[in-house]
């Protein structure tokens, strides 16, 4: 059986702040709508950002609402959030990685999304889902840069 390769989208932002400060900002539920252009409301379930804790995200405008679970957290450099369930999510698999690396005078943030479109969208992915996700990542990277400008 042929399986399509998993699409991967990435965008970067360079900021003038420590990796720890950037990690804390990006993982604070109340700050998520500030930088993530597809999120209107965010709530963390559990004692904090750790493997197994869940994040409830309500989509902004046409973006879907979904629940993610942290499968990897390496403070202050990396987190991986995977799709657990979603209302209107066109994916059978979705993972969002936030990578933060120290850089001269600050830090570089890499936002990475890996996903598998569901059903007929898998055939139309290049013309539908991918463009929206790429724009959302681009706008979110800009939002991070503006926050630390």
Q: What's the CATH number where 13 sits?
A: 3.30.530.20
3, part of any domain = no
Average pLDDT over residues 109-129: 74
Determine contact, residues 15/23, Cβ cutoff 8 Å: no
Q: Are 38 and 60 contacting, i.e. CB atoms less than 8 angstroms apart?
A: yes
Residue 92 falls within a domain, yes or no? Answer: yes
Query: 127 is in which domain, residue-wise?
Result: 8-147
Examine residue 14 and state whether it is found in any structural domain, yes or no: yes
Mind listing the pLDDT tens digit for each residue in 83-116?
Answer: 999 877 777 888 999 999 999 999 999 999 998 8
- At 127 the three-state DSSP class reads helix
Global pTM value: 0.89
Question: Would you list the DSSP string of 46-105?
Answer: SSSSSTT-EEEEEEPTTSPEEEEEEEEEETTTEEEEEEEEEES--EEEEEEEEEEEEETT
Residue 104 lies in a domain: yes
Q: What is the mean pLDDT of residues 49-78?
A: 92
pLDDT at 87: 75
């Amino acid at each position: 059986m042929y399986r399509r390769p998993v699409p991967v989208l990435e965008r970067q932002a360079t900021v003038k702040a420590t990796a720890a400060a950037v990690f804390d900002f990006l993982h604070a539920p109340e700050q998520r709508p500030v930088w993530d252009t597809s999120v209107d409301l965010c709530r963390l379930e559990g004692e904090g950002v750790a493997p197994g804790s869940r994040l409830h995200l309500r989509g902004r405008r046409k973006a879907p609402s979904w629940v993610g679970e942290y499968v990897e957290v390496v403070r202050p450099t990396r987190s991986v959030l995977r799709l657990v369930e979603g209302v209107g999510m066109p994916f059978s698999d979705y993972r969002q990685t936030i990578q933060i690396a120290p850089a001269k005078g600050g830090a570089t943030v890499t936002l990475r999304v890996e996903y598998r479109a569901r059903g007929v969208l898998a055939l139309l992915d290049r013309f539908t889902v991918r463009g929206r996700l790429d724009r959302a990542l681009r706008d979110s990277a800009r939002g991070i840069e503006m926050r630390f400008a």
